[in-house]
Amino acid sequence: MQTVDVLVVGAGLAGLHTARLLARRDLNVMVVDRRRSLATGVRTTGIFVRRTLDDFDLPDHLLGPGVRDVLLYPPSRRAPIRLTSDRDEYRVADMAAVYEHARRLAESAGARILLGVRYVGASGGLVRFAGAEPVTARFVVGADGARSRVARDLGLDVNRRFLVGAEIVHPIASGTTSPAFHCVLDPRVAPGYLGWVIDDGRHAHVGVAGYPDAMRPGLRHLLETFAADAPGRAAPAGPVERRGGPIPVGGVLRRLACPAGLLVGDAAGAVSPLTAGGLDPCLRMSELAATVITGYLRTGDQRVLSRYDGGALRSRFRGRLLLRRAFAGIRSPAAAEAAVSALRGRAGRALAAKILFGDGSFPDVHPRSANPAIGHPGR
């Protein structure tokens, strides 16, 4: 039977990035994903925010043009608020290509990646799969998304509060749009969140997300309703792809690590509760995770694991969790019209700009440590 230092379950952005960082530190790393191809089953729009683009090295050719304008619409769709930044705030990535790129980086660092392999369970270091022989793993990383099975098997915390989101993606004729992020606050189609339209110059993304209990007509129906006259949407110039999935918005989970494994990405609840952005935390928290895992496997010292502390990160989410609650409370079109009206004034625009253009959607995590066995992730 094969033995690996680290088994990473899930080849999303969090799993692939963590695997790369671990393999670079000379650990024997295996990644499994139930998807047969990383180009299928994509669950994200792929909007990367400025802070991520500044801090992490994503190749330019995988990203659409910079977006500086956000248009915020009330349910009536009349007189949207336009917020314009003097910098590029968002870029929409070709996610299939981003995953492929992350996979190549992980493989060239030495990680082995097996697709079409489903994690089934683990006990006493033995990990079982559908689609491959079992392996013995010294440590398991749960990068298996919002409804993590690894989290349950390790006895760690699990996500309990979710939005659900869905979008359609289709090619558009080039030159038919100017880069802008259209956000519609309309609880009839997106209760507790937004409807959105954004494009990368070649593909349009049109989506809705909200609380499942308030989406009685069904997510698909609400998406169709929204897409039928979504503002800023260019006509499809090719086949329509569908994406979607749960988005954990309860904040980073408290108990994220134990001697048998830890959680990263959506499995860790590492999503901004307010904006529902999870791509930045996939990269940011994986750096800390890799540092902690390496330190732990090299020293065997369980105290190292306590540095991967969701409780400490959670406390920095208080303001965002409060705003999420306020956002969730907007359940009628009249309340949404009033909320957008409140944002029209100077203070309201400043708050909206802070949320949309600020650097605070996910707190910084600092992997530095007094323990010389841990070191900095860049090394």
Rounded Cα distance between 249 and 271, Å, is 6
Which listed residue (44, 159, 291, 294) binds ligand FAD by CB under 6 A? 44
By CB under 6 A, is residue 35 in contact with ligand FAD? yes
Site string for ligand FAD, 334-353 (x = CB under 6 A): --------------------
Report the residue number, 198 or 340, with the smaller CB distance to ligand FAD.
Answer: 198
Helix H or strand E encompassing 315: helix 310-315
Site string for ligand FAD, 114-133 (x = CB under 6 A): ----xx--------------
Site string for ligand FAD, 150-179 (x = CB under 6 A): ---------------xxx------------
Ordered strands of the 241-248 beta sheet: 81-84, 69-73, 181-184, 195-199, 203-210, 162-171, 241-248
Which listed residue (4, 6, 7, 13) binds ligand FAD by CB under 6 A? 13
CA angle 361, 337, 85 (to 5 degrees): 40
The β-bridge partners of 48 are 91
- In whole angstroms, the minimum distance from the beta carbon of 339 to ligand FAD comes to 22
Identify which range of 69-77, 265-273, 293-301, 306-314 contacts ligand FAD by CB under 6 A.
265-273
By CB under 6 A, is residue 64 in contact with ligand FAD? no
- In whole angstroms, the minimum distance from the beta carbon of 173 to ligand FAD comes to 23
Angle between helix axes 279-299 and 13-24 (nearest 10 degrees) is: 30
Rounded Cα distance between 56 and 69, Å, is 23
Place of tokens 């253009």: 357
By CB under 6 A, is residue 244 in contact with ligand FAD? yes
Identify which range of 18-26, 78-86, 264-272, 341-349 contacts ligand FAD by CB under 6 A.
264-272
Amino acid at 33: D
- In whole angstroms, the minimum distance from the beta carbon of 166 to ligand FAD comes to 6
Identify which range of 33-41, 174-182, 224-232, 289-297 contacts ligand FAD by CB under 6 A.
33-41
Q: Are 133 and 1 in contact (CB under 8 A)?
A: yes
| Beta strands per DSSP E along the chain | 2-9, 29-33, 47-49, 69-73, 81-84, 90-92, 112-115, 118-123, 126-130, 135-142, 162-171, 181-184, 195-199, 203-210, 241-248, 257-258, 261-263
Give me the residues that bind ligand FAD (CB under 6 A), please: 9-15, 32-35, 43-47, 118-119, 143-145, 149, 165-167, 207, 243-245, 247, 265-266, 271, 277-280, 282
